Amino acid sequence: MSETTVKPTPIIQMQGIHKSFGAVQALGDVNLKLYPGEVLGLVGDNSAGKSTLMKILTGAYHRDTGSVLVDGKATHFRNPHESRDSGIEMIYQDFALCGNMDVGQNIFLGRWPRRGPFVDRKTMYSEADKVLKRLKVDVNSVFQRVESLSGGRQQSVAIARAISFDPRVVILDEPTANLSVMATERLLETMLELKKHGVAQIIISHRLQDIFAVGDRVMVLKRGENVGDRFIAHTTEQEVLQIIVSGTPENALTAEQAVAEAA
């Protein structure tokens, strides 16, 4: 008797998403699924609509038509606070940190624990340290000013702040774009650590090698439309690059032609 594998309900489903800005259509009938604990790479050229799709998911933009489901239930986030309440966090390229404040203050920015009318600094720094240790983030001290940290460590603080909300989904926008090789390796290790804790992730990136290092699946957008969806284990960087450039894997290009056209 054969065993039947029951596929889990997607934690996120976006169906038939349309979004226009005036006469410009940014997204047309886009679909996306994300499963619990999955790492999904979202790729495409600069006009593909990746960030627009994610801003719709987080409530920063409102879709024109289509539906968004969380745990199978239809929802319509009016703003990022509502998506956060559903366990969705997005980390932008600029990190949105306050450089003149220390690591602990940034992790709990705007929601510092209080004891009566005063900030409970002991609890704040203790909890910040726990979050950093959970992610195995290499930061010298929770008392260190963020502006003194390298780009890679600032990125880690931004991730730690997102994780302090105990999210189920984390979206990272070009997380390794401006990092050194060593900082990139540390960040990829942090992403794998998040995965061990069951946090689903969507990674917007032009760096296919990073997505192939940590991802389970890769989805390709081109001119605001779905053109490819592949399991990392069943594809190659070359095939994905061909889809990004041509919009279809059947329009075979050599790796050299694909690189030349993508440049």
pLDDT in tens, 198-248: 999 999 999 999 999 999 999 999 999 999 999 999 999 999 999 999 887
- Per-residue pLDDT tens digits for 164-193: 888 999 999 988 887 788 888 888 988 998
Residue ending a domain, choose from 150, 166, 182: 166
Closest CA relative to residue 57, chosen from 37, 34, 39: 34
Is 92 a domain residue? Answer: no
Q: Are residues 75 and 200 both part of a single domain?
A: yes
Continuous H helices in 95-217:
103-107, 121-134, 151-163, 181-196, 208-214
Residues 139 and 187 placed together within one structural domain of the fold: no
Sort strands 12-21 and 24-34 into parallel, antiparallel or unpaired: antiparallel
pLDDT, average across residues 11-26 = 96
Q: Are 27 and 145 contained in the same domain?
A: no
Same domain, 16 and 118: no
- Taking the C-alpha atoms of residue 68 and residue 45, their distance in angstroms, rounded to an integer, is 24
Q: Tell me which residue range forms the domain holding 143.
A: 98-166
Number of domains into which the chain is organized: 2
Q: Are residues 178 and 82 in the same domain?
A: yes
- Indicate whether 42 and 124 sit together in one domain: no
Q: Clarify whether residues 207 and 253 are in a common domain.
A: yes
For residue 229, the cross-strand partners are: 219
Same domain (yes/no): 199, 231: yes
Are both 150 and 174 inside the same structural domain? Answer: no
Whether 93 is covered by a domain: the verdict is: no
Residue 263: band (very low, low, confident or very high) from pLDDT cuts 50, 70, 90? low
pTM, to two decimals: 0.84
- 190: how many CB neighbours lie within 10 A of its CB? 23
Residue 78 lies in a domain: yes
Domain-terminating residue out of 166, 199, 218: 166
Q: Judge if 80 and 107 occupy the same domain.
A: no
Give the C-alpha separation, 102 to 85, whole Å: 26
For 22-32, what is each residue's pLDDT tens digit? 999 999 999 99
Write down the H helix ranges in the chain.
Answer: 50-57, 80-85, 103-107, 121-134, 151-163, 181-196, 208-214, 237-246, 255-262
CATH of the domain at 183: 3.40.50.300
User: Do 24 and 141 fall into the same domain?
Assistant: no
Per-residue confidence band for 259, with pLDDT thresholds at 50, 70 and 90: very low
